[in-house]
Amino acid sequence: MKFETPQTVEQAVALLAADSGARVLAGGTDLLVRLRAGHIAPSAIVDIKHIDGMGEITQQADGGWRIGAGVPCAAMGEHAGLVADYPGVVEGAELIGSTQVQGRCTMVGNLCNAGPAGDSVPALVAAGAMVRVAGPNGTRDVPVLHIPTAPGKTSLAKGEFVTSVYLPPRGARGGDAYLRFIPRTEMDIAVVGCAVNVILEEDGTVACAGVALGAVAPTVLLVAEAAEALIGTKCDDAALAACAAAATAAATPIDDKRGTVAFRKDVSGVLARRAAKLAYVRAKGD
Amino acid sequence: MSRIHVSTTINGDDVDYLCEAGDTLLDVLRDQLDLTGSKEGCASGDCGACTVRLDGRLVCACLVLGAEAEGRSVETIEGMAEGEELHPLQRNFINKAALQCGICTPGILVAAKDLLERNPDPTEEEVRYWLAGNLCRCTGYDKIIRTVLETAAEMRGAA
């Protein structure tokens, strides 16, 4: 096994395209576990953290945010500007693992690991986040929603890797939230996760919304019906109830030791209602 | 295949070593550099017994490759005392018996020191969350949490 430290995106793409056994290393909190367990035997490890921008969180000219693929989740929580604009995205990212794992793990790694229960993914999907994908044919911007295709599978082609996440400009009246259900208080895998992102009119009416569910389908779900239940309302009880019902209806979970189908569907609605309320309060800023 | 040459800083000292691509930082610390204070509990990032600081950030050394330490700064439990002078956390863990078998202790001390440097006055809840990735199968945590809180108070008083 080789260890490569490309200095540019082009070098990294060339290494990945030339060797189908090569694996990308960012935070390593999934890769090293699988390596040690013998589940993978890569021919090369390509550490992308030496490439410019991989460790950066930068506000773009349009007011949106670009978060490099090597940014550890702990660094997101320490970034006051990002936390102010996207508290839900940050709270999802900060739920992954322990303090020590937070020091290494990345949102892009969580996304490309393609686990159905990845905690940082629903809030990105609810916010309409994009990722920048570099590959042999140049770069393309792809909605986060379209990266995972099945548990453990992504839409990335050979030689491609994600270089950054882009969050759209927050604007004057926007807010988001991510909530999950786990049987303990920390360090666990979501039984259900739900993120809501809302943007309000001046009078407090919801102009635009995104509702995303994790852990209740093979990939993260963007639930249009749940978002439509909020749009045009001030998140009153009737709107929240309709949002919850739509989330429950959209969830297609499996039965396993951590939760039954019926329980997960019910909790999907509960979390959608609570996350919508919290996102709305944050968007209003009072 | 040729091994990878790494130049890094460990506890303030310049260190050079050779490692294989698949060697973790924990493998290098323990097996090559005789820095055996960092323990291997799970080797999968769950237990925190191998906690070190890498460029000022807490990480599990079992989830870092040795080759990744090139040009970076590593702090281990061996760098915690100033010569013979124990860090207040170390002294109090002994005096207040905040350990039993001791395997988890180096990782907990490194993590607790990092917490108190970031937040000199944490609540009990903050200490418990911060140390949630440091498993202890002996103590039930109570003495550990109390000792961290009492040391924080002592260090604030001394400052």
Domain boundaries of chain B, sorted by first residue: 4-79, 88-158
Per the CB < 8 Å rule, is A35 touching B63? no
B74 touches chain A (CB under 8 A): no
Is CATH 3.10.20.30 correct for B4-79? yes
B104 touches chain A (CB under 8 A): no
Where in chain A are the domains?
2-167, 186-284
pLDDT per residue, tens digit, chain B (159 aa), is: 589 999 999 999 999 999 999 999 999 999 999 999 999 999 999 999 999 999 999 999 999 999 999 999 999 999 999 999 999 999 999 999 999 999 999 999 999 999 999 999 999 999 999 999 999 999 999 999 999 999 999 999 976
Per the CB < 8 Å rule, is B59 touching A36? no
Total count of residues recorded for chain A: 286
* Confidence (pLDDT) at B159: 67
Report the pLDDT averaged over residues A202-207.
Answer: 97
Listed in sequence order, the residues at least 6 apart from B34 whose beta carbon sits closer than 8 Å to its beta carbon are: none
* Confidence (pLDDT) at A119: 98
* Confidence (pLDDT) at A186: 82
* Confidence (pLDDT) at B155: 97
Residue-wise burial string across A46-68, b where 16 or more C-beta atoms lie within 10 A, e elsewhere: bbbbbbebbbebebeeeebbbbb
Best mutation target among A1, A24, A25, A98 (most B Cβ atoms within 10 Å) is A98
Alpha-carbon distances of B129 from A283, B93, B111, rounded to whole Å: 28, 19, 11
Distance from CA of A173 to the nearest CA of B (A): 31
Do B4-79 and B88-158 share a fold? no
Distance from CA of B149 to the nearest CA of A (A): 18
Distance from CA of B14 to the nearest CA of A (A): 21
Listed in sequence order, the residues at least 6 apart from A238 whose beta carbon sits closer than 8 Å to its beta carbon are: none
A259/A267 Cα distance (integer angstroms): 10
- Chain B hits for A187, Cβ within 8 Å: 132-133
| Contact of B64 with B24, CB cutoff 8 Å | yes
Per the CB < 8 Å rule, is A36 touching B44? yes
Per the CB < 8 Å rule, is B45 touching A33? yes
B67 touches chain A (CB under 8 A): yes
| Contact of A212 with A125, CB cutoff 8 Å | yes
Per the CB < 8 Å rule, is B65 touching A25? yes
Per the CB < 8 Å rule, is B59 touching A100? yes
Whole-structure pTM over 0.80, yes or no?
A: yes
Distance from CA of A33 to the nearest CA of B (A): 5
* Confidence (pLDDT) at A233: 98
Say which of B21, B24, B60 has its CB closest to residue A100. B60
- Tens of pLDDT, residues A79-103: 999 999 999 999 999 999 999 999 9
- Tens of pLDDT, residues A136-188: 999 999 999 999 999 999 999 999 999 999 999 999 999 999 999 999 888 89
User: What's the ipTM?
Assistant: 0.96
Per the CB < 8 Å rule, is A45 touching B21? yes
Per the CB < 8 Å rule, is B51 touching A36? no
For residue A54, name the pLDDT band (cuts at 50, 70, 90): very high
* Confidence (pLDDT) at B158: 79
Say which of A2, A49, A103 has its CB closest to residue B58. A103
Q: How many interchain CB pairs under 8 A, A with B?
A: 82
Candidates A268, A266, A245; CA nearest to A190 is A268
Take residue A37 and report the two structure tokens written for it: 């367990």
- Chain A hits for B145, Cβ within 8 Å: none
What are the strands, taking DSSP E only, across chain A? 2-4, 22-25, 44-47, 57-59, 65-68, 130-135, 138-143, 148-150, 153-154, 161-167, 174-181, 192-200, 206-214, 221-222
Candidates B144, B44, B84; CA nearest to A97 is B44
The topology under which CATH files domain B88-158 is DNA polymerase; domain 1 (1.10.150)
pLDDT > 90? residue A272: yes
Candidates B27, B12, B25; CA nearest to B80 is B12
B88 touches chain A (CB under 8 A): no
What are the strands, taking DSSP E only, across chain B? 4-10, 13-19, 51-54, 57-60, 73-75
What is the assigned CATH class of domain A2-167?
alpha beta
Total count of residues recorded for chain B: 159
What is the assigned CATH class of domain A186-284?
alpha beta
Report the pLDDT averaged over residues A229-238.
Answer: 98
Best mutation target among B7, B8, B57, B63 (most A Cβ atoms within 10 Å) is B63
Report the pLDDT averaged over residues A215-244.
Answer: 98
- Chain B hits for A74, Cβ within 8 Å: 57
Best mutation target among B26, B38, B39, B60 (most A Cβ atoms within 10 Å) is B60
| Contact of A31 with A25, CB cutoff 8 Å | yes
Percentage of residues of chain A with pLDDT beyond 90: 97
Which long-range contacts does B97-103 make (Cβ < 8 Å, 24+ apart)?
A: B97/B143, B98/B139, B98/B143, B98/B144, B98/B146, B98/B147, B99/B138, B99/B139, B99/B143, B99/B144, B100/B138, B100/B139, B101/B137, B101/B138, B103/B39, B103/B41, B103/B49
